[in-house]
Amino acid sequence: MKSANAGFLREVGIIMRRNSPVAEDLVKKARSLCTASRLEHIMGVERLAVELSRLHGEDEEKASLAALGHDIFRDLPGGELLRLAALYDLEPCALELKQPVLLHGKVAASHIRVEYGIDGDIFESIYWHVSGYRSLSRLAKILMVADMGEETRQFTQADEIRKLAKGDLEKSFLNVIRLKIQWSLNSEKCLLPETVLAWNYCIGGADYVSD
C-alpha cells in the first residue's frame, strides 16, 4: 500500500509538472545544481506536500512549486550564497554570515520571485522554510512539515511527523519546530531567532524573542 501510494503521488507530480513550465524549469535547475540525494529529497518533499495539500484543502500546484523550489540552492558553496544574497538585496544576519547555508531558502525565494514573478504564500513558504516564522500560512507549514517528514528522511521522527500531519497539520508543524530547537540544543549550535518566534507563537506565548 505504501509503495502504491508513493507511485500514485509520483505520477501526480509528473502530470502537474508537465502542465507547469515553471515547475519543469525548477526541476531542471535542481538537477543541475543539486546532488543526487538532494534531488531525491526535493522530489520526496513534493510528493508529501502535494498529498498534505490535498488532505488539508491547500492548492496542490502551489505546494508542488514551493517544494520544487525550496532547496535548489542548498548545495551551493557559502560564498556563492552570499553573492546571490547581495544580488537580491538580502541582508544576512550574523548567523547567516557565519553559516551561509542558512540563506538557501531566502535566496531561492528571491530568485523565484525575480525569475518567474512568483510571490505570496509560495514566496513566504520557501523564504522561511529553514527557520520557520510566526503566523505562517498553511502552505508554509505544509512545506516545512514535508521537508522534515518526507519518506527518504532516515531519522525516526520523520515517520511520526509524516503520519501525524495527515490528520493534524498544526501539531505536526509544532513538532517540526520543536525538533529544530532540540537539534540545535543537542548539537550546541545557535538558534535562529525566527525559530524561537515560531515556537512562541505556536504555543500561544509571546510572539517576540525579547524586548
Which helix (DSSP H) or strand (DSSP E) does residue 29 occupy? helix 21-33
Q: What is the pLDDT of residues 149-190, one digit of tens each?
A: 999 998 999 999 999 999 999 999 999 999 999 999 999 989
Task: Give the residue among 71, 21, 29 at the shortest CA–CA distance from 46.
Answer: 71
Nearest to 37 by CA among 152, 190, 194, 127: 152
pLDDT at residue 4 is higher than 60: no
Q: What is the CATH number of domain 2-202?
A: 1.10.3210.10
Q: Has residue 59 got a pLDDT over 60?
A: yes
- pLDDT of 14 reads 52
Residues 112 and 115: their CA atoms lie apart, in Å, by 5
pLDDT higher than 50, residue 211: no
Q: What is the mean pLDDT of residues 78-102?
A: 97
Q: What is the pTM of this model?
A: 0.90
Q: Report CA-CA distances (Å) from 104 to 99, 117, 140, 149, 162.
A: 10, 19, 16, 19, 23
112 CA to centre of own chain: 14
Q: Could you read off the pLDDT of 106-139 as tens digits, one per residue?
A: 999 999 999 999 999 999 999 999 999 999 999 9
Per-residue pLDDT of 11-49, as tens digits, reads: 555 545 557 899 999 999 999 999 999 999 999 999 999
Cell of 106: 531566502
Confidence of residue 1 (pLDDT cuts 50, 70, 90): very low
Distance CA 99, CA 103 (A): 8
pLDDT-derived band at 209 (thresholds 50, 70, 90) equals: low
Instruction: Count CB atoms within 10 A of the CB of residue 146.
Output: 29
How many Å apart are CA 68 and CA 196, to the nearest integer?
A: 26
User: 10 Å Cβ neighbour count for 122?
Assistant: 28
Instruction: State the Cα torsion 180-183-188-192 to the nearest 10°.
Output: -10
Q: Where are the domains of the chain?
A: 2-202
Contacts of 81 (CB under 8 A, 6+ apart): 73, 100, 101, 103, 104, 107
Task: Assign 204 a pLDDT band (cuts: 50, 70, 90).
Answer: confident
